[in-house]
């Protein structure tokens, strides 16, 4: 997620902007920049890399001075990390910083080129800046109102107009932005940490409200220019809590960010109700030719690949082999130039996955990566890249990255199935629409945290526990088991429910916790039988299932029920209680949830 700051007041703004951006570094970024009103002109300084690189550049080129400016730390989505793609973007008359994704920037860019505009960057943001210039006829609020009626997507923007050298303008929709109310001036910021040093008082901007900041105050109006009276909020967090958005841990914050992360990832990949991955370079013609797919990854990313296997084979009827990268790279896999090898990686830097990618390329396969970090090694080396837009994932235990990796697997499965003629356009649109319902469904089930907290309290003294399921539930149980192990240090094992009776059920003793995932309607009765098997041997069963058939569920000791969706979509919902149960077990055990022992966020060595 990008970071935005802005200031207009009595003091020089450059150090304030840099300090504010430094408090947003936790959001992750790959470039930074500022725009300052200096002697009636907009002066821009921006650089790829860290804030220190920007400050070094200003030391070399001269530091701007002024009391009104905007700043930005960029988490690349459109366009690689580079000086030219860094924000701010604009021209002599207008400059903007932006957080979000403009879905219709391509058509706007074509229109502006027809109007004689030229573009220097690959970003969607530059398009918005030039559209503002196009509509500007002397009134900044009018120009902003025109632009937000035309653009689609998510945005939080800080804007400078040369003709109004002491004002900062701001507007947002779906991306966060607050207005800080200080004694010596006023601020805009993506998040509270950036302003805490100067003020605890702030406005929350509602979608498409336009704010005009000056040294003496802040005016807010709606898109029709009607004045809006704002309530003052007071931040009572310390800085550490503020960086976590008020959540106790980054992991909990990231679990709660999943609805937004999924929306931001899938929205640009759906066009007229159909999956649209062409922007990644994967065309329907290419998809039609593959008869075998490998999915290669590590840890949670590999678990996302497992869900992808079940979904792609069920919907598209294409054989999928899922491999752990550290095994794939040494087992001399049989790959031809007719195969598609998909690498999934949040960091894009995992050594084993990168090595697997290189091996697949050596063998002539087409390589497609699903990566969260723009411009990372795996992304750069792949033939085709589908970026997830989860924003930086700070907690070592992957949560929102897993959710968005799944969402890309679903889109790929639907597009592949349609390209292969395995499903009709109507069915493809129906499945795509079902996927688009997931973020709201996840939002609804985030309230399950108290239930999961109670269940976690029953796990903290366990020696070991089992996660069981069948089909997609079994694939998901692997992720649930890993989450619990890696942050609570309690041993657990994921097991195919139907396989228990072939040996592992001998482990089940009185009070052994078993987490049974039973969301697949076609396998529900069979999973129920397996639950009864372990119950009969003394296990304490938590059952994660869909609403309805309450009497069948009396067999479990604890229940987590989920809203009904298409069977194939249920892992997208069942992942939430998996994550919550692991999180609260670790918290109750007093573990270091965000930085578990022995683990690194990205394993860049073998």
Tell the residue number behind the tokens 């399921």, with chain if given: 469
Asked whether position 398 contacts ligand AGP by CB under 6 A, the answer is: yes
73, 300, 326, 382: which one contacts ligand AGP (CB under 6 A)?
Answer: 300
Asked whether position 299 contacts ligand AGP by CB under 6 A, the answer is: yes
Range in contact with ligand AGP (rule: CB under 6 A) among 106-114, 153-161, 340-348, 563-571: 340-348
* Residue with smaller CB distance to ligand AGP, 14 or 371: 371
73, 347, 388, 527: which one contacts ligand AGP (CB under 6 A)?
Answer: 347
What is residue 205's DSSP assignment? Answer: P
Whole-number Cα distances in Å, 437 to 375, 407, 431, 440, 564: 30, 12, 10, 6, 11
Separate counts of helices (H) and strands (E) for the chain = 19, 26
Q: Token pair of 495, please? A: 């097991």
Give me the residue whose beta carbon is nearest to ligand AGP. Answer: 299
Q: How far is the CB of 268 from ligand AGP (least distance, A)?
A: 21
Residue tagged active-site, from 2, 13, 68, 591: 2
* Residue with smaller CB distance to ligand AGP, 79 or 392: 392
Q: How far apart are CA 324 and CA 412, in angstroms?
A: 20
What is residue 276's DSSP assignment? Answer: -
Range in contact with ligand AGP (rule: CB under 6 A) among 391-399, 410-418, 420-428, 451-459: 391-399
Kindly provide the residue ranges of all beta strands, DSSP E only, lying in 40-102, ordered along the sequence: 41-48, 68-74, 89-90, 94-102
CB 410 within 8 A of CB 571: no
Q: Is 221 a catalytic residue?
A: no
Asked whether position 477 contacts ligand AGP by CB under 6 A, the answer is: no
Q: How far apart are CA 72 and CA 42, in angstroms?
A: 15
Tell the residue number behind the tokens 């999973």, with chain if given: 527
Range in contact with ligand AGP (rule: CB under 6 A) among 87-95, 244-252, 380-388, 393-401: 393-401
Asked whether position 385 contacts ligand AGP by CB under 6 A, the answer is: no
156, 160, 181, 396: which one contacts ligand AGP (CB under 6 A)?
Answer: 396
Nearest to 478 by CA among 519, 515, 446: 515
* Residue with smaller CB distance to ligand AGP, 223 or 603: 603
Alpha helices, H only, 115-238: 124-135, 140-150
* Residue with smaller CB distance to ligand AGP, 129 or 359: 359
Residue 306: helix, strand or coil by DSSP? helix
Q: How far is the CB of 299 from ligand AGP (least distance, A)?
A: 2
Q: How far apart are CA 158 and CA 91, in angstroms?
A: 15
Q: How far apart are CA 538 and CA 197, in angstroms?
A: 56
* Residue with smaller CB distance to ligand AGP, 31 or 353: 353
Q: How far is the CB of 132 from ligand AGP (least distance, A)?
A: 37
Q: Token pair of 165, please? A: 């050298």
Q: Token pair of 208, please? A: 């498409």
Q: How far apart are CA 187 and CA 195, in angstroms?
A: 7
Q: Is 428 a catalytic residue?
A: no
Q: How far apart are CA 551 and CA 567, in angstroms?
A: 20
* Residue with smaller CB distance to ligand AGP, 105 or 584: 584
Q: How far is the CB of 278 from ligand AGP (least distance, A)?
A: 25
Asked whether position 298 contacts ligand AGP by CB under 6 A, the answer is: yes
* Residue with smaller CB distance to ligand AGP, 95 or 345: 345
Considering only residues 531 to 590 of the shown chain, the ones binding ligand AGP according to CB under 6 A are: none
Q: How far is the CB of 351 from ligand AGP (least distance, A)?
A: 9
Q: How far is the CB of 397 from ligand AGP (least distance, A)?
A: 4
Q: How far apart are CA 10 and CA 596, in angstroms?
A: 45
Q: How far is the CB of 483 from ligand AGP (least distance, A)?
A: 6
Count of residues near ligand AGP by CB under 6 A: 15
User: Which pairs from 246-251 meet CB under 8 Å and 24+ separation?
Assistant: 248/587, 249/395, 249/583, 249/587, 249/593, 249/594, 250/394, 250/395, 250/594, 251/395, 251/397, 251/399, 251/487, 251/579, 251/583, 251/593, 251/594
Residue tagged active-site, from 284, 535, 589, 601: 601
258, 265, 353, 388: which one contacts ligand AGP (CB under 6 A)?
Answer: 353
CA angle 569, 571, 572 (to 5 degrees): 70
Asked whether position 369 contacts ligand AGP by CB under 6 A, the answer is: no
Range in contact with ligand AGP (rule: CB under 6 A) among 161-169, 296-304, 461-469, 574-582: 296-304
Range in contact with ligand AGP (rule: CB under 6 A) among 30-38, 189-197, 390-398, 501-509: 390-398
Say how many CA atoms lie within 13 Å of 551 toward its Cβ. Answer: 0
Asked whether position 397 contacts ligand AGP by CB under 6 A, the answer is: yes
Give the CA radius of gyration of the chain: 25
Q: How far is the CB of 157 from ligand AGP (least distance, A)?
A: 31
Asked whether position 442 contacts ligand AGP by CB under 6 A, the answer is: no
Alpha helices, H only, 210-319: 239-243, 250-256, 258-266, 284-289, 299-316
208, 453, 504, 602: which one contacts ligand AGP (CB under 6 A)?
Answer: 602
67, 95, 123, 350: which one contacts ligand AGP (CB under 6 A)?
Answer: 350
CB 531 within 8 A of CB 508: no
Considering only residues 89 to 128 of the shown chain, the ones binding ligand AGP according to CB under 6 A are: none
* Residue with smaller CB distance to ligand AGP, 242 or 261: 261
Residue 296: helix, strand or coil by DSSP? strand
* Residue with smaller CB distance to ligand AGP, 258 or 300: 300
Q: How far is the CB of 100 from ligand AGP (least distance, A)?
A: 24
Q: How far apart are CA 138 and CA 130, in angstroms?
A: 15
67, 127, 186, 345: which one contacts ligand AGP (CB under 6 A)?
Answer: 345
Asked whether position 603 contacts ligand AGP by CB under 6 A, the answer is: yes
* Residue with smaller CB distance to ligand AGP, 160 or 356: 356
Q: How far is the CB of 372 from ligand AGP (least distance, A)?
A: 8
* Residue with smaller CB distance to ligand AGP, 370 or 539: 370
Q: How far apart are CA 573 and CA 443, in angstroms?
A: 10
The alpha carbon of 279 is separated from its chain's Cα centroid by a whole number of angstroms, namely 18
Nearest to 109 by CA among 149, 151, 70, 60: 151
Q: Which residues are known catalytic residues?
A: 2, 601
| Residue numbers at the binding site for ligand AGP (CB under 6 A) | 298-301, 345-347, 350, 353, 396-398, 486, 602-603
């Amino acid at each position: 997620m990008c970071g935005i700051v802005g200031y207009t007041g009595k003091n020089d703004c450059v150090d304030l902007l840099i300090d504010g951006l430094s408090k947003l570094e936790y959001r992750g970024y790959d470039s930074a920049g500022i725009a300052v009103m200096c002697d009636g002109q907009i002066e821009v300084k921006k650089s790829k890399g860290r804030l220190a690189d920007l400050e070094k550049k200003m030391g070399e080129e001269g530091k701007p001075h002024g009391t009104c400016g905007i700043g930005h730390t960029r988490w690349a989505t459109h366009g690689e990390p580079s000086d030219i793609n860094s924000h701010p973007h604009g021209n002599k008359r207008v400059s903007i910083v932006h957080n979000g994704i403009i879905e219709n920037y391509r058509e706007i860019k074509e229109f502006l080129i027809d109007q004689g505009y030229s573009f220097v960057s690959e970003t969607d943001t530059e398009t918005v800046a030039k559209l503002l210039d196009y509509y500007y006829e002397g009134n900044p609020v009018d120009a902003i109102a025109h632009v937000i009626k035309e653009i689609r997507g998510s945005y939080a923007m800080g804007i400078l107009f040369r003709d109004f050298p002491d004002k900062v303008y701001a507007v947002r929709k779906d991306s966060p932005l607050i207005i800080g109310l200080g004694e010596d001036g006023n601020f805009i910021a993506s998040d509270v940490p950036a302003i805490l040093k100067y003020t605890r008082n702030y406005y929350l901007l509602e979608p498409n409200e336009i704010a005009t900041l000056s040294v003496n105050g802040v005016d807010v109006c709606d898109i029709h220019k009607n004045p809006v009276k704002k309530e003052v909020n007071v931040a009572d967090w310390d800085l550490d809590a503020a960086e976590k958005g008020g959540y106790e841990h980054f992991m909990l914050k990231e679990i709660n960010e999943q609805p937004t992360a999924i929306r931001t990832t899938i929205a640009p990949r759906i066009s007229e109700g159909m999956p649209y991955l062409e922007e990644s370079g994967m065309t329907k013609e290419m998809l039609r030719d593959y008869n075998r797919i490998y999915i290669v990854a590590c840890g949670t990313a590999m678990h996302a690949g497992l869900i992808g296997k079940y979904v792609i084979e069920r919907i598209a009827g294409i054989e999928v082999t899922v491999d752990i990268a550290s095994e794939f790279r040494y087992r001399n896999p049989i790959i031809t130039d007719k195969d598609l090898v998909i690498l999934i990686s949040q960091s894009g830097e995992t050594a084993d996955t990168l090595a697997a990618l290189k091996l697949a390329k050596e063998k002539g396969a087409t390589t497609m990566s699903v990566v969260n970090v723009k411009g990372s090694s795996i992304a750069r080396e792949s033939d085709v890249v589908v970026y997830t837009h989860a924003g930086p994932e700070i907690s070592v235990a992957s949560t929102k990255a897993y959710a968005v990796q799944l969402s890309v697997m679903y889109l790929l499965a639907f597009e592949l199935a349609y390209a292969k003629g395995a499903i009709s356009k109507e069915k493809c649109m129906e499945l795509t629409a079902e996927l688009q319902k997931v973020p709201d469904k996840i939002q609804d089930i985030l309230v399950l945290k108290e239930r999961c907290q109670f269940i976690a309290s029953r796990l903290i003294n366990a020696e070991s526990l089992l996660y069981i399921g069948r089909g997609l539930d079994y694939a998901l149980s692997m992720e649930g088991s890993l989450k619990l192990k890696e942050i609570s240090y309690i041993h657990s094992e994921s097991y195919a429910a139907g396989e228990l009776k072939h040996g592992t059920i001998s482990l089940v003793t009185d009070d052994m916790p078993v987490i049974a995932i039973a969301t697949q309607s076609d396998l529900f009765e069979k999973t129920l039988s397996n639950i009864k098997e372990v119950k009969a041997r003394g296990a304490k069963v938590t059952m994660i299932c869909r609403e309805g058939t309450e009497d069948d569920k009396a067999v479990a000791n604890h229940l987590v029920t989920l809203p009904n969706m298409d069977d194939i979509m249920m892992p997208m919902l069942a992942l939430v209680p998996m994550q919550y149960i692991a999180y609260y077990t670790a918290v109750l055990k007093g573990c270091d949830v965000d930085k578990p022992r022995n683990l690194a966020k990205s394993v860049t060595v073998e």
